[in-house]
Amino acid sequence: MSRIVLVAPDSRLERQVRLVVAEEMVVIPATDPEQFSGRLGRMAERPELIVFGHQLPRHLALALASAGRQHADSMAIVSDEPDIMVEAMRAGISDVLPTTVDLDAIDLMVARAHEFAMDAAAAGRPAPSLRRLGPGRTIAVASPKGGVGKTMIACNVAVGLALLQPGCVVLVDLDLQFGDVSSTLGLEPVYFLEHAVAKGAARDSLVLKTVLTKHPSGLLVLCGPESPATADRVTAAQVGHLLRQLADEFLYVVVDTSPGLLEHTLTVLEQATDVVAVTSMDVSSVRGMRKELDVLDELGLLPDSRQVVVNQGDRSSGLTIADIETAIGARVDIVIPRTKGVGAASNRGLPVIIDQPRDKASRTLRVLVTRLSTEPTRKGWREASRKEKVS
Ligand SMILES: Nc1ncnc2c1ncn2[C@@H]1O[C@H](COP(=O)(O)OP(=O)(O)OP(=O)(O)O)[C@@H](O)[C@H]1O
Ligand SMILES: [Mg+2]
């Protein structure tokens, strides 16, 4: 059995991985990308994780990753090159490890890859695939309380997806009153949401595309209304139409929302194929999350594919992840730690996954991107929450 494939590792990396997974690994030398892909495809079992060693020339490691991505659930590279992250993500690599990586970090990476592979298998998903036919995915980032990190997560997820599929991802700022996507991403828009719902754009998707603002990552952004007064004139029905138009044109429509369940947010959730439900680690935010998920469940507005994200994870809060899971009646999928890098990146108008790729928050955000870039799981929050209520 070979859960982990190491490509041209140095002896330290090989030893470390062996300590974690014993014999469940295979070491293969660097070949050309076609041979590499063929070899992976012929393996008796699909690898959970491929790790590229730091001695591989960068261009070869990335070419091998691109060729091998459909044969593995997760990929990582060991590299100290500070600017490798963007290209690595484009090649399908979600983790960049420093050459000084320690055993704990390897253990965590292997555990995460295993969990992801189990989820994929349970969902009957053949392979993470970036190709998609038919209407695009609409990913709603929502939370009952304000200030928990929705905008930070929406921006980083959208940029992460855009690095994988430049030109195919649009981020919509639907925090109508206080939207701050443009400042978080350092954009200076000329057009705003009100232009996207005006008659010309609503009738013609080509016109709609001209009011989007380009981000250097390849992401397109529909910035929030220019002022709260114009925001008042945007109706929920217009928002619904807009999202349908965008889903016809893009592979991914990521939507940042305002806190709570206002009419416009409910409209977003009606259209959403995926929800990223965000809570912080404080009691009122967690209670709010439980209520919000219950209400959405009753309204039939909770998409089957959902990621429960605990942001600003912090041991000092007094709550554990197990406490939170009990309180909300569902599994926590991702924990994003509170880090200085997030605030620093945001102050510079940059997404943390690009500005500080080695930041711990960037690592978990990349895992979230990887999960959202695969076919939606059909495990169903509803089923999980019903079980919880019955027990
Ligand atoms: N993991 C994190 N570590 C450190 N700071 C964070 C983290 N997540 C978010 N922040 C900071 O917390 C603040 C609130 O984040 P953000 O604006 O994304 O929240 P929000 O849920 O969109 O808020 P609102 O409901 O007001 O729109 C920002 O200053 C952001 O930089
Ligand atoms: Mg916000």
Domains of the chain, start order: 4-122 (3.40.50.2300), 137-390 (3.40.50.300)
**3 vs 154: which has the higher pLDDT:** 154
Ligand 1 atom nearest the C-alpha of 346 is 31
CA atoms within 13 A on the CB side of 242: 32
Give the ligand at the shortest distance from the Cα of 145: 1
How high is the pLDDT of residue 251?
92
Q: How far does residue 312's CA lie from ligand 2's centre (Å)?
A: 14
Residue with tokens 């969902």: 123
Of all protein residues, the one whose alpha carbon is nearest to atom 12 of ligand 1 is: 149
- 126 exposed, middle or buried (CB, 10 Å; 0-12, 13-18, 19+)? exposed
Atom number of ligand 1 nearest to Cα 313: 1
pLDDT of residue 124: 54
The residue whose C-alpha atom lies closest to atom 15 belonging to ligand 1 is: 149
Sign (positive or negative) of CA dihedral 266, 191, 184, 86: positive
Query: Which of 180, 340, 342, 363 for mutating ligand 1's site (highest number of atoms within 8 Å of CB)?
Result: 342
Name the one residue in this structure whose structure tokens are 């619904």: 240
Amino acid at 238: Q
Long-range contacts of 188-193 (CB under 8 A, 24+ apart): 189/213, 189/221, 189/223, 191/223, 192/223, 192/224, 192/225, 192/226, 192/230, 193/222, 193/223, 193/224, 193/225, 193/230, 193/231, 193/234
* Res 231: pLDDT: 86
Residue 146 CA to ligand 1 centre (angstroms): 9
For residue 118, is pLDDT > 90?
no
Q: Which of 9-13, 110-114, 150-154, 255-259 has the lowest mean pLDDT?
A: 110-114
Closest ligand to C-alpha of residue 149 is 1
- pLDDT attached to residue 379: 36
* CA–centroid distance, residue 156 to ligand 2 (Å): 13
The Å distance, Cα 366 to ligand 2 centre, comes to 20
The confidence band for 374, taking pLDDT boundaries of 50, 70 and 90, is: low
What pLDDT, on a 0 to 100 scale, did the predictor assign at position 241?
95
Angle value at C-alpha 113, between 257 and 130, nearest 5 degrees: 55
Nearest to 375 by CA among 157, 172, 27, 130: 130
Mean pLDDT across the stretch 296-309?
90
191: alpha, beta or left? (left if phi > 0; alpha if psi -120 to 50): beta
Helix (H) or strand (E) holding 137: strand 137-142
Average pLDDT, stretch 174-182? 92
Per-residue tokens: 361: 């928050």
In this structure, are residues 72 and 5 in contact, taking their beta carbons and an 8 Å threshold? yes
Q: What is the pLDDT of residue 216?
A: 87
How does the average pLDDT of the chain come out, rounded?
87
Phi and psi at 141, nearest 5°, equal -105, 115
**Which residues is 274 bridged to in the sheet?**
139, 305
Cα 259 to Cα 112, 140, 292, distances in angstroms? 30, 12, 11
Q: What per-residue confidence (pLDDT) applies to 133?
A: 35
pLDDT at 78: 95
Residue 143: half-sphere exposure toward Cβ, Cα within 13 Å? 23
Which residues on adjacent β-strands are paired with residue 172?
A: 222, 255
Ligand 1 atom showing the smallest separation from residue 345 Cα: 31
Look up tokens 């079980």; give the residue: 387
What's the average model confidence in pLDDT over 40-51?
90
Lowest-confidence range among 94-108, 126-140, 284-298, 308-322? Answer: 126-140
What's the pLDDT band for 64 if we cut at 50, 70, 90? very high
Amino acid at 215: H
> Of 269, 289, 355, 14, whose CA–CA distance to 148 is shortest?
289
Q: Evaluate if residue 126 carries a pLDDT over 90.
A: no
Q: What is the pLDDT of residues 184-228, one digit of tens each?
A: 999 999 999 999 999 889 999 889 999 999 998 889 999 999 888
Nearest CA to ligand 1 atom 3: 338
Residues lining ion ligand 2 (Cβ < 5 A) are 150-151, 175
Handedness of CA 246, 369, 325, 341 (dihedral sign): negative
Q: What is the pLDDT of residue 130?
A: 36
* Ligand 1 atom showing the smallest separation from residue 178 Cα: 27
Looking at the CA of residue 175, tell me the nearest atom of ligand 1. 27
Pocket test for ligand 1, best of 143, 148, 151, 152 (most atoms within 8 A of CB): 152
Q: Is residue 160 pLDDT above 80, yes or no?
A: yes
What would the two tokens of residue 311 be? 């942001």
| Rounded distance from Cα 67 to ligand 2 centre (Å) | 37
Q: Which of 18-22, 149-153, 328-332 has the highest mean pLDDT?
A: 149-153
Query: Atom of ligand 1 at shortest distance to CA of 311?
Result: 1
Q: Which two tokens stand for residue 30?
A: 């660097």
Q: Ligand 1: which atom is nearest the Cα of residue 361? A: 1
Q: How confident is the model at residue 144 (pLDDT cuts 50, 70, 90)?
A: very high
Whether 18 contacts 64, CB under 8 Å = no
Q: What percentage of the chain reaches a pLDDT higher than 70?
A: 91
In one letter, which amino acid is 351?
A: P
Pocket of ligand 1 from Cβ distances under 6 Å: 143, 146-152, 175, 259, 311-312, 336, 338-339, 342-343, 346, 361
If you ran DSSP here, which 8-state letter would residue 146 be given? T
Please give the average per-residue pLDDT across 5-22, as a whole number.
Answer: 92
Q: What is the whole-number distance in angstroms between the Cα of residue 184 and the centre of ligand 1?
A: 10
Nearest atom, ligand 1, residue 336 CA: 1
CA 54/CA 61 separation, integer angstroms? 9
| Band of pLDDT at residue 385, cut at 50, 70 and 90 | very low
* Mean pLDDT of all residues in 101-113: 87
Tell me what percent of the residues of the chain surpass a pLDDT of 90: 61
To which H or E segment does residue 134 belong?
none
Best mutation site among 141, 145, 151, 177 for ligand 1 pocket (most ligand atoms within 8 Å of CB): 151
Whole-model pTM: value is 0.74
β-pairing, 305-313 vs 334-337, is parallel
Closest CA to 157 of 174, 183, 182, 139: 139
The yes-or-no verdict on residue 353 having pLDDT over 90 is: yes
Residue 106 structure tokens: 């390897």
* Cβ neighbour number for residue 133 with a 10 Å cutoff: 4
Q: Per-residue pLDDT averaged across 241-253, rounded?
A: 94
Of the two residues 374 and 59, the one the predictor is more confident about is 59
Using 50, 70 and 90 to split pLDDT, how confident is the model at 123?
low
Cα 148 to middle of ligand 1, angstroms:
5
